Amino acid sequence: MQDSDDLVKEVDESINIFSAEEKPDYVENNMIKFIQILRNLGIKISLAESIEAMEALKLTDIIDKKEVKATLRSLLVKNNYEREIFDEAFEAFFVAQKEKQQRQEARKQEIKQQEEAKRKAEEDLTFKREKGISNKDEELELNLTDEQKETYTQLPEEAKQKIRDYIEDSFPGHLQYSSNVQPMLEKMVGGLLNYWKRQLKNSDQERQQQHDLESKLTGDLEMDTVIQQVVSSLQEDESLLTQDLKKIPEEKLSQVTMIIKKLSHKLATKISRRFQNSLKTDKIDLRKTIRNNIKYGGVMLDLEYKTKKIQKPKFLVICDVSDSMARYATFVLQFIYGISSAIQDIESFIFSEDLERITEYFNSNLSFKDTMAKVITNSEEWGETTNLNQALETFQHQHLDLLTPETILFIMSDTKTLQYKEAAAKLEDMRDHLKDIVWLNTLDQSEWDELESVQAFKEVTRMVECYTIKHLNNSLKINILT
């Protein structure tokens, strides 16, 4: 029999051989997993693209996370929608080992809870037959699909109780011993659960409008943890897009800020492309051609063409910062200044009882958060009552020169102001000197008909519903790009 010391020595040598000859390539293994995650999230990546990405990493400083991200994104992503998925997946996958383990543990607990909920559903969806000839209670487990059981776990407790009562009360007395009990219950309960599945699907109308993220789990804990995190993150972003800005909880505000930053950057890119000079030629500019060809003795060698001069729009923003409107104002200002690189000029004002100009605050090098903190600290109007008429009167006396035919005036308010008729008359006078007046109304459109102030301002402005990030994004996109 082999000596124990010799056995230990042999095992050690085997380990050393493996370490020297078959040491795993962690970069390659991680890349294979990451590409599989992207595929399971609906991004189509060919084998050639996968190989190209791995070859590119050999020329990349893999210690530099930003460089690695930019390299892979340039090779694996084909549109903005895929870019959003890629960014979420990259940040979720390439994290410190400790954080990765914590997320995997959380995923294990989630799976455990799901299994427990499924087991409970199987118990609930069982028909209990009373003691019969055998003098024993009998349980008939209904043969339902996993999808139907999953639907049951998602129901509110009241709906679950109704289904349990239905199973219990459908076959009283001697009927419970019929051979048709189980198939009939399976058909009826299955029909109920299919109905609830449709109800749950249709209850979230906004989800029907968003991209359907095609995700599949792999069975690997590490990869599935990332896939679930990406899906949850993107769905949460979508829900925040359509939530009333005033009702978003404090702990979500940083996430809202990031969403606004991302959307405003996208819109700024579109605006820049919309207002750049076209390379298409038009009519020959004879005067410019003759002037530029004098150096050739008048011979027309270099032709000059007439081009349409494209002017970027100017923004004039007046935000209501009364007590009920202050949070909306912060997000509107953040969004508008997020597209400032694509706008020729932005002038900003806030008002409650009177008007304050805040443009100079945004010309500093401070972050938006620090800028707004400074505005709020120094403002005498923040959180007061609303008098738009007085604010417009101050504007007409001190800033009338800001009104130009290229300027779009945005007013953000719920229209609930003192002297609204007088304010509407002043806006009508200003309208002749502007390109447009857009009223961003933070009230739900269903409330508009009840307010005389809304009707008065609708006659002199283009009023749009604007109490969510999605409203704000769409309003600015439509009014700038059309």
Q: Could you write out the three-class secondary structure of 349-396? A: EEECCCEEECHHHHHCCCCHHHHHHHHHHHCCCCCCCCCHHHHHHHHH
Residue pLDDT, tens place only, 210-240: 445 567 778 787 888 888 778 777 666 667 8
Cα–Cα dist 194/182, whole Å: 18
Q: Is the pLDDT of residue 66 over 80?
A: yes
Which pLDDT score is estimated for 354? 95
Is the predicted pLDDT of residue 118 greater than 70, yes or no?
yes
Average predicted confidence (pLDDT) for the chain: 79
Lowest mean pLDDT of 126-130, 157-161, 465-469, name the range. Answer: 126-130
Give the confidence band of 109 by pLDDT, cuts at 50, 70, 90. confident
The residue-averaged pLDDT of 43-50 equals 91
Residue 1 confidence (pLDDT): 43
Q: What angle do CA 441, 444, 448 make, to 5 degrees?
A: 75
Q: Which of 96-105, 211-220, 266-275 has the lowest mean pLDDT?
A: 266-275
Contact 140, 126 (CB under 8 A): yes
User: Closest Cα partner for 267 from 481, 55, 432, 70?
Assistant: 481
Query: Does residue 33 register a pLDDT over 80?
Result: yes
DSSP H or E run through 439: strand 436-441
Residue 55 makes CB contacts below 8 A (sequence gap 6+) with none
- Choose the most confident range, by mean pLDDT, from 58-62, 288-292, 383-387, 423-427: 423-427
Residue 458 has pLDDT above 80, yes or no: yes
Average pLDDT over residues 391-406: 94
Bridge partner residues of 315 (DSSP): 346, 408
Helix (H) or strand (E) holding 327: helix 326-338
Identify the residue with better confidence: 113 or 298: 113
Cβ-based neighbour number of residue 157 at 10 Å: 7
Range ranked top by mean pLDDT from 7-16, 156-165, 236-245, 467-476: 467-476
Please state which of the ranges 6-10, 290-294, 458-462 shows the lowest mean pLDDT.
6-10
Residue 448: partners with Cβ closer than 8 Å, 6 or more residues away:
441, 454, 455, 458, 463
- Is pLDDT above 90 for 459? yes
- pLDDT attached to residue 289: 75
Q: Side chain identity at 356, as an amino acid letter?
A: E
Give the pLDDT confidence score for residue 20 in this predicted structure. Answer: 38
Dist CA 458 CA 464 (whole Å) = 9
Over the stretch 415-451, which tens digit does the pLDDT of each residue have?
A: 999 999 999 999 999 999 999 999 999 999 999 998 9
Residue 337 has pLDDT above 70, yes or no: yes
What is the average pLDDT across 239-255?
81
Q: Is it the case that residue 2 has pLDDT exceeding 50?
A: no
More confident residue, 334 or 201: 334
Tens digits of residue pLDDT in 284-332: 777 777 777 777 766 666 776 666 555 667 889 999 999 889 889 988 8
Would you list the DSSP string of 8-38?
Answer: HHHHHHHHHHHHHH----HHHHHHHHHHHHH
Q: Which amino acid is at 61?
A: D
Region of poorest pLDDT, from 64-78, 224-238, 291-305, 337-351: 291-305
- Please indicate whether residue 47 or residue 204 has the higher confidence score (pLDDT): 47
Averaged pLDDT, 195-211: 57
Asked which of 11-20, 368-377, 437-446, 469-478 is least confident by mean pLDDT, the reply is: 11-20
Residues contacting residue 34 through CB under 8 Å, at least 6 positions apart? 72, 89, 90, 93, 94
Instruction: State residue 129's pLDDT score.
Output: 63
Query: What is the number of other CB atoms lying within 10 angstroms of the CB of residue 393?
Result: 17
SS3 112: helix
Cα 96–Cα 97–Cα 101 angle in degrees, nearest 5: 120
Task: Please tell me whether residue 320 adopts helix, strand or coil conformation.
Answer: strand
**226 or 280, which is more confident:** 226
Percent of the chain with pLDDT over 90: 29
pLDDT score for 210: 45
Closest CA to 233 of 257, 249, 213, 209: 213
Contact by Cβ (8 Å): 145, 122: no
Can you name the residues that pair with 355 across neighbouring β-strands? 351
Handedness of CA 177, 182, 188, 189 (dihedral sign): positive
Average pLDDT over residues 88-105: 85
Most confident of 137-141, 193-197, 269-273: 193-197
Please name the residue ranges forming H helices in 170-315.
Answer: 181-203, 205-209, 221-241, 253-274, 286-292
Could you give phi then psi for residue 370, rounded to 5 degrees?
-70, -35
pLDDT at 201 (0 to 100): 63
* CB contact set of 367 (below 8 Å; sequence gap of 6+): none
Handedness of CA 28, 31, 32, 33 (dihedral sign): positive
Average pLDDT of the segment spanning 75-89: 87
Q: Which three-class secondary structure state does DSSP give residue 423?
A: helix
